[in-house]
Structure formats: structure tokens, C-alpha cells
Chain A
Amino acid sequence: MKAERIVNTSVVAALVLFPLWAWMTDAPFLITLATKAVIFALAGVGLNIALGIGGLVSLGHAAFFGLGGYAMGILASHAQAYDPIFNAPFVLEGTKSMPVIWLVAIISSGLAALAIGALSLRTSGVYFIMITLAFGQMLYYFSISWPAYGGEDGLSIYVRNSFPGMNTLDPIQYYVICVALLFAVLLFTSRLARAPFGLALGAARQSPLRVKTVGISPYKLQLVAFTISGMITGLAGALFADLNRFVSPTMFSWQLSGEIIVFILIGGTARLFGPVVGAIVFVLLEHLLGGLSEYWHIYLGLLLLLIVLFARGGLIGLLAGKERSHD
């Protein structure tokens, strides 16, 4: 526990000090890379609420990531074309304001997570993995075949959306926004995990029958956890879309769902900072190995295999020992 706290503190310090270092070395490219890692970390922290605490292996979280992305894409594309989203029964305009976009992304992915969770949680184990995968694919194919918002080609947004009081076009300022959101969500998650809700959710993972016996419904706990998890991943999707100023159906792809799980696994499941460490390592690997070889996915695959087969606690497990906070 103590060693894990040291790891966590150094990660926070690194994330805070990074823009300073990048500013001094004048490397805007690295800032974009770091922003990507932070956004992936946010998506992973979201999934980890369902997967790490709740034990719900969702292979369809790209659905929420993509919905968040399209929430940004649709609102901003209408705003940049000065074309209302619809006129009747009332006029709804698009927007370029980040907070509004985030809110829409969180609400729409939350509603989707509520619906998908309500259906998927009727099943468990392998069925749950496959049904979440299938819902993700459903949205993927829908986004490809629905021509109104770019279909297969996706949507480009010309200028990054705005945040009151900040210049989001400056990479460092956008990085600061993303890191602040990540820290806020991490704080929320650590509180959630220690709250009665989080404890009950963890208990429902370990022994659903006992939880039922004391009069709590595991289904409701898991549905709430899945919804919160989807909301956070949706927020990450909106940020990711704004980072690239582009959304496309690949944000819904099942490979992305797999990658979000990979972040959690590299860092260590059920660790608060697991997805953060995992996402940073993943983006670094992508950058370093991608520079070495066109076929870097082979090395990534081998590394993943080694971690799954031999290092089950992930990197934080290696650094901080096997002990876990809850079980």
C-alpha cells in the first residue's frame, strides 16, 4: 500500500511537471502525445470502475468513447456550419463550448450505458463480454452506414472548441484541461471505491450471493457502476475528438475497446492508477516501437502475452508488490 502510494505520487508529479519540461525544451509534439496518454488514461479509469471494482469485463467501451466523440463532432459541426441541429419543435443550435459538449457527451454516453448495461447485465461471464462487444459493433456499423455525419469518412472540425478563460489552441493549455479532468475523475473514483457503494460493488464481484443475502441487489449496483463507467469513457471520447479535431467510426472499433482493457492490464487491474500508468506506457511504446518498426504491434502483442502469463499484477504490481487494496 505504501509503495503503491509512492508510485501514484510520482505519476501525479510527472503529469504536473511534464508541461513545464516540454515548455522548456519547446517540444509541442510531445505535449500532444502526452495529452493523448492522459485522455486514454481517463477512458481507462472509466472502464476500471466497471472492470476493476465491479469485475464486469466490458469489451464494448469503445461505444461510449465513440458516442462522446460524436457528441462533440455533431455539436461542433452544426456550430461551424451555422446550421441548427433541428428546427422543430424548438430550435437547437450546435455549440463550440467545451463544457456544454462535455455535458452532452456525458449524458448521451451515460444513457447509452444505462440501456446497454440494463440488457447486458442480465447475462454474466462470457456472455457479458460478448454482448458488450456486440453492442459496440452495433454502434460501429451504425456510424459507418449513417451518412448524415460523414459515414465511413468521419467528421472534421476546423478549429478546436473553446473553454472559457483559456486558449485551447495552445497545446499546453489543452493538456492542462485534460489533466485537470483526469485528476478530478481519479479523486472521484478513489472516493467512490471507499464509499459504501464501492465496497458493496466490490463485494458483489467477489460473492454476489452474500450481497443478495444482506438485501442489496447486485444488478442495481452493477448497473450504476456500468453507467458511471460509460459516462467517464464518453467524456474521454469528447476530449479525444477535440484533440484530433476529427471523429470517425474507428472510435467505435472493437480494437479500441480491447486497447482500453490493455491500459488497465498493463498498469494493474483494480488499482486506482493502473489505467494511468498503462495508458502512459502504451502511448510511449507506440511512439518508441512505432519509430523502430512498422510492425510494432508484434512486439506489443508479445509484451502483452508476457504480462498476462507471467506478471499478473501489471506494472504497479511489479513496483509495489502483490498486495491489493480490497481483497
Chain B
Amino acid sequence: MSPILLAEQVLNGLQLGVMLFVMAAGLTLVFGVMGLINLAHGSLFMVGAFAAAAVAGATGSFLLALVAALAAAAAAGALIEVLVIRRLYDRDHLDQVLATFALILIFSEGTRWIFGSFPLYLNVPDYLSGPVTLPGGIQYPLYRLTLIAIGLAIAGGLFALISKTRLGIQIRAGENDREMIAALGVDISKLYTIVFALGAALAGLAGALVGAIQSVQVGMGEPVLIVAFVVIVIGGIGSIKGALVGAILVGLTDTLGGVLLPELFKLFMDNSTASSAGSALASMLIYILMAGVLIWKPTGLFGAST
């Protein structure tokens, strides 16, 4: 395998990783602050993608589509937080799993009802399409490079938000002791709605950004949701830093595993067995990684030990 191909795959892994981070950040924040496990996070990803595809189809502007994705997902997030989610904070995890599973059913079928079963397409805008040449002669799609940049910018922004702003202080305080910050006069239910809507908006943005390189369809959120769970379990639930490290780790493992394992197996097997065994193992690799991390550290890499 040539070094250029390898470098491309590393970039692909990085791109997958940062998008997973944008998705996982909301999940881990919501869990860290509210103690809620939200299966419907994947539905917010889907809502973002559909809103973007609909607006891009109507106006032709990719930027407007991204704004629509953010707004629609944030609105949907705030709505379900007020109607359903806030009743679940002091319930056990089983109730949370079931109620958010019910929300998935409603969101998925609702979207199918509005948009139909056929996938929509969201095109990469002209100014971001085509390849760029990177140092070392690597040809790489500009759009994917932009995704990496946006993802890293969001990561930077989130760290600044958490460590530097008043909202960030409240979020961190909420993770530690929710009674105390309520006693100090912070409107805790408003804080929860804001955090939930923020996480939802990020999921929606990720949906729109990823929607441009795959098709926008009902059910697109759940595979991503489950990988995002793997990410936050590896990183430690509640930790933004853990989500970033976990996301990059999962992105690289998944992408490189898919390319390298069949090659590796070819060294000691015939070609067709090697490619099928290699790809079968590669599809399980991130789960094996997760199991390995949990055996070593049962609360994830950066999780608070209980």
C-alpha cells in the first residue's frame, strides 16, 4: 500500500472522527449534565439532514441549508425537551431508553410521512467540490477537508464555551451538583433546555454536513447514534475531551481497519477469503476496541470513576 493512499485513509478517518465528535458532544453533554441517555439523538441528526436537503432544494444555497439544519434540530430538540425529556430526568435509565425509543419511532415515521420513503440528495456546493492538492502530492476532496476544519473549529468552540463562558460554568456546576446551582439562583430547567437544544443543534449540523456525502434518508441517524455511543463510552460518558479522543480513535480505527485488515490477511490467506474475513473483522473492530477499553477502564478513558 502506497504512503499516499495511507495518508488519504488517515484523513478519511479523521473526517469521520470529527463528525462523530460533533454528534457525540451533544450526547455526552446531555448525559453529563442531566444524567439522561437519549436514543433520539440520531433522530435530531436526521432532522438536520432533512431540513438542510429541503432548504437547499428550495433555495439552492448550502449556507442557508446549514442554518436551517441548525435551527430545525435546535427547535425539535427544545420541543421534545419541554414536552417529554424533562419528565425523564429523575426516572431510571430503562424509562429513558423506552421513552426516547418511542421518540425515534415518532420522528422516523413522521419524516417518512412528510418526505416519503425515497432518499433526498444534498449536493456539495460548487465552491467546495473538487479535489485540492496537499503537501506531498496528495489529492484530497476539498469538501472533506472542510468537514475536518469545521469539526475541529466546533471542538475548539465547545472547549471555549465550557471553560470560559458563564453558560459553561453553569454546565460544569450542573454536572457536579444540580441542587446547589439551583439554590444559587440558576434557572435549572432553562439551563437544561439550552443544553439539550445545543446538543440537538450540533447533531443537526452533523446530519446536514454528512448528508452531503451520503444520501439523506429515514433511519440514517441510528447507525451514527450507535457509533456515537461507542465513542462516548470509550471516552468516558460526560467528558467532552473524552468524546473528542474517542471520536478520533473510532474514526481512525474504523477507516484504517477496513483498508488494512484485508491487506494484512492477504499475507497468510488466499485473496477472496482474506478480503471477506478482513472486512467481517473490520466491521466489528470498533466494538472490539470499545470492549477492550472497558475491560481496561470500566468508565472509559476520561470518565469519572464511580
Contact with A along B293-306 (1 / 0, CB 8 A): 01100111000001
Q: Is A12 an interface residue (CB 8 A)?
A: no
| List of A residues within 8 angstroms of B87 by Cβ | 309
Task: Given A141-B284, A142-B280, A295-B113, check contact A300 B229 (CB 8 Å).
Answer: no
Interface assignment of B291: CB less than 8 Å from any CB of chain A:
yes
| Cβ-based interface call for A283 (8 A) | no
A137-B98 in contact (CB<8A): no
Is A145 within 8 A of B276, CB to CB?
yes
Instruction: Name the distance in Å between A150's Cβ and chain B's nearest Cβ.
Output: 13
CB distance from B284 to the nearest CB of A (A): 5
Quick one: CB contact mask for A113-129 with B, threshold 8 Å, 1 for yes?
00000010011111101
B105 with A57: CB separation less than 8 A? no
Interface residue A104 (Cβ < 8 Å from any Cβ of B): no
Q: Which residue of A lies closest to B236 (CB)?
A: A127
- Give Cα A305–Cα B101 distance, bound, in whole angstroms: 9
Please judge, given known A-B contacts A59-B97, A126-B37, whether A119 and B295 are in contact too, CB under 8 Å: yes
**What distance in Å separates the Cβ of B28 from its nearest Cβ neighbour in chain A?**
11
Q: Which residue of B lies closest to A310 (CB)?
A: B87
B205 interface hit (Cβ, 8 Å): no
> Interface residue count for B (Cβ, 8 Å)?
45
Are the C-beta atoms of A138 and B284 separated by less than 8 Å?
yes
The answer, yes or no, to whether A133 is at the interface (CB within 8 Å) is yes
**Residue B198 at the chain A interface, CB threshold 8 Å:** no
A262, B98: Cβ atoms under 8 Å? yes
CB distance from A120 to the nearest CB of B (A): 8
Contact in complex: A298, B113 (CB < 8 Å):
yes
Q: Which residues of A contact B99 (CB under 8 A)?
A: 304-305, 308-309
**Nearest Cβ on chain A to B302's Cβ, whole angstroms:** 14
Q: Which residue of chain B has the shortest Cβ distance to A127 in the bound complex?
A: B233
**A145–B109 touching, CB < 8 Å:** no
With contacts A59-B97, A258-B101 taken as known, whether A145 is within 8 angstroms of B299 at the C-beta atoms is: no
Contact of A309 among B84, B109, B230, B237 (CB under 8 A): B84
- Check if B226 sits within 8 Å of A127, measured CB to CB: no
A contact residues vs B (CB 8 Å cutoff): 51, 57, 59, 119, 122-127, 129-131, 133-135, 137-138, 141-142, 144-147, 254-255, 258, 261-262, 265, 269, 295-298, 300-302, 304-305, 308-309, 312
Can you list 18 A-B contacts (CB < 8 A)?
Answer: A122-B294, A124-B306, A126-B37, A127-B233, A127-B298, A130-B230, A131-B233, A145-B280, A145-B282, A261-B98, A261-B101, A262-B98, A295-B113, A298-B105, A302-B106, A304-B98, A304-B102, A308-B98
